[in-house]
Amino acid sequence: MKWSCIIALCLGSLSQFATGQAAISEKVYTTRDGLASNTVYAVAQDNLGYIWFGTSRGLSRFDGQRFVNYDISKESTG
C-alpha cells in the first residue's frame, strides 16, 4: 500500500491540536526533500521525537528539518 508523506504531518498537526494551537499546516515530503523513496509503507514516531518512514528503498528518519536514510541494500556487519 502506498502512503503519502502527509501522514507524518498529520501526526504533527494532531499534537498541535492537542496542545491548543489553532494553526494547522501541511507539507508533502518527497525524494527531493531527502526522503529515501516516495513509496512509504509505514510511519512511526519514537520517544526522541524522530519520525521514521519505512519506504521501498529503506528507512528514513526525519527530525523536523532533514532526513537521514538507512539503505536496505547495505548489509549490517555486526
Which structural domain range is residue 52 located in?
6-71
Beta bridge partners of 55: 40, 58
Mean pLDDT of the chain: 80
Establish if 41 belongs to a structural domain: yes
Q: Could you tell me the pLDDT band of residue 52, with boundaries at 50, 70 and 90?
A: very high
Count of domains observed in the chain: 1
**Digit-coded pLDDT (tens) for 33-47:** 999 999 999 999 999
Q: Grid cell 529515501 — which residue?
A: 36
Contact between residue 43 and residue 11 where contact means Cβ atoms under 8 Å apart: yes
Establish if 77 belongs to a structural domain: no
Establish if 1 belongs to a structural domain: no
Q: In the prediction, which pLDDT does 22 show?
A: 67
Task: Provide mean pLDDT across the span 45-53.
Answer: 97
For residues 45 and 71, which has the higher predicted lDDT (pLDDT)?
45
Give the Å distances, CA to CA, from 41 to 32, 36, 49: 18, 12, 19
